[in-house]
């Protein structure tokens, strides 16, 4: 039993890596998978000068944080048990609570908390230094693709 779980974890990690590799925009932002499974995903993104939105402060542009949250939300939906491998964002709302610390890696965690036959509901948060001091939160709805044709078989 334990061994099966171990294999599954490895397979999951491999799928997660392939997932990012397969998404050019996430790759361009150097996103990195940290945790994925059972409707929860955690992805981080390193600080980069190219992502700066305010040159005077060096703070990362909100759009880059949105991209991280969106990728994380989609990954959470795809990792939901029995969910198909394809999803698209229907809507996503981001609340920016504070500016990100310049120079710091940003981590996002998304949770797919309810799924119907057609829609997945997701909430997410992002932080830099301390998970308990989030810089942004998000909530959104994602599509559940009909049919299992697109399901990933490792």
Partner 1 sequence: MSTSRKPPEPVHLVKHRRDKALSALVDGVPYIRFMGIGFDRRGDELTAVMNYDDKLIGNPLIPALHGGATASFLEVAAIVELSFQMLWDDIETGRLDVETLTPDALPRLPKTIDFTVDYLRSGLPRDAYARARVNRSGRRYASVHVEAWQDNRDKLFAQATGHFLMPQREG
Contact 77, 122 (CB under 8 A): yes
Q: Compute the distance between CA of residue 126 and CA of residue 107 in angstroms, rounded to an integer.
A: 5
Minimum CB distance to partner 1 smaller for 6 or for 148: 148
- Where along the sequence are the contacts to partner 1 (CB under 8 A)? 22-29, 49-56, 60-64, 66-71, 74, 86, 88-96, 99, 150
Minimum CB distance to partner 1 smaller for 13 or for 20: 20
Question: Least separation, in Å, of the C-beta of 9 and partner 1?
Answer: 26
Question: Least separation, in Å, of the C-beta of 82 and partner 1?
Answer: 21
Question: Least separation, in Å, of the C-beta of 1 and partner 1?
Answer: 35
> What are the residues facing 80 on neighbouring strands?
none
Question: Least separation, in Å, of the C-beta of 2 and partner 1?
Answer: 35
Phi, psi of 105 (to 5 degrees): -65, 140
The angle subtended at Cα 10 by Cα 5 and Cα 14, nearest 5°, is: 145
How would DSSP label each residue in 74-87? HHHHHTSTT--S--
Minimum CB distance to partner 1 smaller for 32 or for 66: 66
């Amino acid at each position: 039993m334990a061994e099966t779980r171990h294999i599954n974890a490895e397979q999951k990690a491999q799928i997660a890596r392939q997932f990012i590799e397969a998404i050019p925009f996430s790759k361009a932002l150097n996103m990195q998978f940290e945790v994925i499974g059972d409707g929860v995903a955690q992805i981080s993104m390193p600080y980069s000068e190219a992502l700066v939105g305010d040159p005077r402060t060096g703070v990362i542009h909100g759009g880059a944080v949105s991209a991280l949250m969106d990728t994380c939300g989609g990954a959470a939906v795809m990792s939901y048990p029995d969910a198909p491998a394809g999803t698209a964002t229907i809507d996503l709302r981001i609340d920016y609570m504070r500016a990100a610390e310049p120079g710091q890696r940003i981590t996002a965690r998304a949770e797919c908390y309810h799924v119907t036959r057609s829609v997945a509901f997701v909430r997410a948060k992002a932080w830099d230094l301390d998970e308990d001091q989030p810089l942004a939160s998000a909530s959104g709805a994602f599509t559940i693709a009909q049919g299992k044709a697109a399901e990933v078989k490792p």
